[in-house]
Structure 1
């Protein structure tokens, strides 16, 4: 069982390495003294598809797990916490346009053998060999920001963020693992300077 857990963690770490993360933080704050945290949960997103009770529970559980692994203790009294933690979720519809060039461009000549056909595509007519192939794809991009906040001044101390194309997630377990992977990648950068170079 222990070997399975270790193998699972190695797979998760490998996946996290491919998640693009950007961070920003206060250079005046001593992050080495952070030992505890309390939640400052944001208002729910206006779009329930983006943020609902199930999503919120997955994000909170993933953050708790990562902070616990880093040795931070969660406290219920925000005034006794070293820092506060919050998050923001976003989702945006995107369009990608890919231009693959024409049949002529790819091969450098006009293929007259069975000119009306393209292998695997069927009949398009002669003129199509000179047309560009433009594919339009619609997809959704998710944004997750995790904020670490000063409990006294309520000023932002650290922010980690990633934007990812949302894959097809069919089961609750797939959604949980997607959130865990995303949160793990972001918090690998906390505190500043803690990320292990790959």
Structure 2
């Protein structure tokens, strides 16, 4: 019985590690994305927030620039761009609650008596922070948003600058997957 519980717990743990996060996109049907040749970054009030340090903003700018260059777009000055790129991060405190049961109600006969017992429920809670990274494209001709991609996932503790860059690169790659 213990071995079975251990195997089930391990399988659940491993399936949790394999979770794939998928970005959500929204876009304007009227805008021709193939016509985009040049882009520039702009800062808005929403994009300059306490959750993103200047170093993380630089990492994001580098990752977004790399993705757009790989798609044939070129970074230029704001007044020369076809689209303006802006992004922001929203965080939310979350709690995950799980429960497990060590077995159902059971009984057995022993030494002339019936003995009954019930399983034990265990409730576990985990507090974490969920982050949502949102990237917007704004058409420079109309000054309206024409594309948005967002990705939600629990924020991880990252100890090194390399881990932070890898995490940001992976998120940005997912955000631009369908563009």
Same fold by TM-score greater than 0.5: yes
Aligned residue pairs: how many? 154
Instruction: State the shift of 1:90 in Å.
Output: 1.3
Partner of 2:10: none
- How far the C-alpha of 1:142 sits from its partner, in A, is 0.9
Alignment pair present for 1:104 and 2:93: no
Q: Structure with the greater relative contact order (CA < 8 A, sep ≥ 6): 1 or 2?
A: 1
Partner of 2:164: 175
Which residue of structure 2 aligns with residue 68 of structure 1? 69
User: Are the structure 2 counterparts of residues 134 and 74 from structure 1 closer, same or farther at C-alpha, using a change threshold of 3 Å?
Assistant: same
Residues 141 and 165 in structure 1, CA contact (< 8 A), matched pair in contact too: yes
Residue equivalent to 2:13: none
Could you say what secondary structure the match of 2:166 adopts?
Answer: helix
- Which runs of 4 or more aligned residues in structure 1 lie more than 6 Å from their structure 2 counterparts after TM superposition? none
Task: Check if 1:91 corresponds to 2:80.
Answer: no
Give structure 2 stretches of 5+ with no counterpart. Answer: 1-18, 110-115
Q: Describe how 1:13-92 pairs up with structure 2 within 5 A.
A: 18-43=20-45, 44-45=48-49, 48=50, 50-76=51-77, 78-92=78-92
SS class of match (2:21): coil
| Cα distance in 2, alignment partners of residues 19 and 97 from structure 1 | 20
Asked if the contact 1:89–1:143 (Cα under 8 Å) also holds between the matched residues in 2, the reply is yes
Give secondary structure in 2 for the equivalent of 1:164: strand
What TM-score results when the alignment is normalised by the length of structure 1?
A: 0.71
RMSD: 2.3
TM-score normalized with structure 2 length: 0.78
* Structure 2 residue aligned with 1:4: none
* Aligned residue runs from structure 1 range 101-140, under 5 A: 102-105=101-104, 109=106, 129-140=118-129
Residues 67, 73 of structure 1: 8 Å contact kept: yes
1:140: Cα distance to partner?
1.1
| Worse-matched range after superposition: 57-66 or 34-43 | 34-43
Task: State the shift of 1:110 in Å.
Answer: 5.5
